[in-house]
């Protein structure tokens, strides 16, 4: 049995529109719950809290976000073509029954002979964080999103259709898990309480936190500000460690590029380690397969 069987329809909104942002302003959407848990590569709990407070603006549309929006209809059409048994329908924005702050914006709803199912549509630069098609092996922040939507709509299954590298279509399935849904729900409720009580999250190492701190103060006062010597020592130690790690990383990248030569990828036992990109005949970058969110 799912947690909510009678969600409220908030309205139909174009994703990214002012109306869409307004509908989510006082709540937590599926693409935001991973940030609440510290699992999002794009947003931190700190940055999300400040956005919900109106202290910083909405996330600006990036190139991946733009192209994901452009490709969405085509990916949905491909899913519909492969699943003629399902009626693929656009979805409004929902709020969970009894929890108006739990917001759901599923990409599509699926109607057929059985119960309601959902469809989420994604694009990916590569398949490194995606497991075997047909499984639930998807990036954790997308799993959080699917479970959030299933919990709001009282559905049991969410299909995930992803276009990898612009040409490889894959499908995955996330089934409702009551224990995981409860964990997400409880975390969301605590975050809403923190917003209401002005309990600011701690500063962490997420890049989104740093970007938020950067834009919060306005103007420049020509004054000196005394800071804690322990923080200064921590700052200097981190600087030294960063410079040492940066030198070692540069040496490793140079060695990898030297070994790759005119090749495309560095692999170990068939698993990609890094990809070499070329522009105007010369190496432009070396992109690691391992990211901060899959380093464990």
Buried b (16+ CB within 10 A) or exposed e, 208-238: bbeebeeeeeeeeeeeeeeeeeeeeeeeeee
Give the chain as a 3 state SS string.
CCCCCCCEEEECCCCCCHHHHHHHCCCECCCCHHHHCCCCCCCCHHHHHHHHCCCCCCCCCCHHHHHHHHHHHHHHHHHHHHCCCCEEEECCEEEECCEEEEEECCCEEEECCCCCEEEEEEEECCCCCCCCCCCCCCCHHHHHHHHHHHHHHCCCEEEEEEEECCCEEEEEEEECCHHHHHHHHHHHHHHHHHHHCCCCCCCCCCHHHHHHHHHCCCCCCCCCCCCCHHHHHHHHHHHHHHHHHHHHHHHHHHHHHHHHCCCCEEEECCEEEEEEEEECCEEEEEEECCCHHHCC
What pLDDT is recorded for position 294?
Answer: 56
Looking up tokens 């040496």, which residue turns up?
A: 251
CB-based burial of residue 248 (10 Å sphere; 0-12 exposed, 13-18 middle, 19+ buried)?
exposed
Looking up tokens 């699943």, which residue turns up?
A: 83
pLDDT (tens digit, 0 to 9) for every residue of the chain, 296 residues total?
A: 344 458 999 988 887 778 877 878 889 999 999 999 999 999 999 999 999 999 998 888 788 888 888 999 999 999 999 999 999 999 999 999 999 999 999 999 999 888 999 999 999 988 888 999 999 999 999 999 999 999 999 999 999 999 999 999 999 999 999 999 999 999 999 999 999 999 999 999 999 999 999 988 888 899 999 999 999 999 999 999 999 999 999 999 999 999 999 999 999 988 888 999 888 888 888 888 876 655 54
pTM of the complete model? 0.83
Contact 58, 131 (CB under 8 A): no
What pLDDT is recorded for position 287?
Answer: 86
What pLDDT is recorded for position 71?
Answer: 92
Domains by residue range for the chain, with CATH:
8-212 (3.90.320.10), 229-294 (no CATH)
């Amino acid at each position: 049995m799912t947690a909510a069987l009678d969600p409220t329809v908030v309205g139909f909104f174009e994703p990214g529109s002012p109306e869409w942002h307004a509908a989510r302003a006082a709540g937590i959407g599926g693409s935001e719950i991973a940030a609440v848990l510290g699992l999002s590569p794009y947003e931190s709990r700190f940055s999300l809290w400040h956005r919900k407070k109106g202290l910083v603006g909405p996330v600006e549309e990036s190139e991946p976000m733009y192209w994901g929006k452009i490709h969405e209809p085509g990916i949905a059409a491909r899913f519909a073509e492969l699943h003629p048994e399902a009626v693929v329908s656009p979805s409004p924005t929902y709020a969970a029954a009894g929890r108006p702050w739990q917001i759901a914006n599923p990409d599509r709803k699926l109607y057929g002979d059985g119960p309601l199912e959902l469809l989420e549509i994604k694009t990916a630069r590569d398949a490194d964080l995606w497991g075997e098609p047909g499984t639930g092996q998807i990036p954790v922040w997308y799993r959080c999103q699917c479970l959030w939507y299933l919990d709001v709509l009282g559905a049991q299954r969410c299909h995930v259709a992803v276009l990898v590298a612009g040409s490889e279509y894959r499908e995955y399935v996330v089934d409702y898990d009551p224990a995981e849904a409860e964990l997400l729900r409880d975390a969301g409720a605590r975050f809403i309480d923190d917003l209401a009580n002005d309990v600011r999250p701690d500063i962490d190492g997420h890049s989104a936190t740093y970007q938020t701190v950067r834009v919060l103060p306005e103007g420049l006062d020509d004054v000196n500000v005394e800071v804690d010597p322990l923080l200064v020592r921590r700052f200097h130690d981190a600087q030294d460690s960063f410079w040492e790690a940066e030198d070692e990383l540069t040496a490793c990248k140079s060695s990898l590029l030297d070994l790759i030569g005119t090749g495309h990828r560095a692999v170990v036992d068939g698993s990609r380690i890094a990809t070499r990109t070329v522009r105007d005949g010369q190496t432009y970058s070396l992109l690691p397969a391992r990211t901060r969110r899959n380093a464990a």
